[in-house]
Amino acid sequence: MNCEGMYQTFYKKLYNTIFAMVRDHYLTEDIVQDTFIKAFVKFDTISATEKAGAWLTVIAKRTAIDAIRKESRRVHVSIEDIDQYFSEISEKYVLEDEVQCDLLKERVEHEIKLLSVDQRAIIHHKVNNGLKEKEIADKLDIRSGTVKIKLYRARKQLKEKIYGQTYSA
């Protein structure tokens, strides 16, 4: 896929994603344009073109967060509008937090997919079904100690991948 093809393919998706975040057509267009400029500069580094959409979406969301931060610092308010200003700023910070949470959730989900099948099954039963180690062991027909070890290792691996630190607790 070339740069023009990428633009044609993903413009509308990126526009809709960013507009849902910022709710401003002009700002959305600026952010999407900045996204493609950043992407085209690094276009030669993308090795798997089937992942281009996800790659562009991450660039766009991070560019939107930067734009939201920049806009919140640039605003000047008269005394009469102070209440409305604080309300808008509060909404932007909530939006920024939501976006950061969404990005972290996507990262965690991605890293979970990279775990072994056993670890994914144990994480699924623990997190999604709220099962205890003994219940997971019964369900998967393995020993409770094995569940505890695999759960510990899976959590440790996720922390290392997501936060880039080694944990030994």
- Does 35 lie in the same domain as 53? yes
Domain count, the chain: 2
Q: Are residues 78 and 22 in the same domain?
A: yes
Identify whether residues 104 and 121 lie together within a single domain: no
The pLDDT tens digits for 65-88 are 888 888 766 655 555 565 666 666
What gap in Å lies between CA 127 and CA 111, rounded to an integer?
Answer: 15
Rg (C-alpha) for the chain, rounded Å, is: 21
Can you give the pTM of this predicted structure? 0.43
Write the CATH number for 57: 1.10.1740
Residues 84 and 16 in one domain: yes
Question: Quick one: angle between helices 3-22 and 25-41, nearest 10?
Answer: 140
pLDDT, residue 169, reads: 46
Highest mean pLDDT among 4-8, 129-133, 134-138, 151-155: 134-138
140 and 101 both lie in a single domain: no
Q: With the CA atoms of 131, 133, 138 and 141 taken in that order, what torsion angle do they form, in degrees rounded to the nearest 10?
A: 120
Q: Give me the domain span that covers residue 139.
A: 116-169
CA 29 to CA 60: how far, in whole Å? Answer: 11
Q: Cβ atoms within 10 A of the Cβ of 14, count?
A: 25
CB count in 10 Å sphere of residue 10? 22
* 14-38 tens-digit pLDDT: 999 999 888 888 889 999 999 888 8
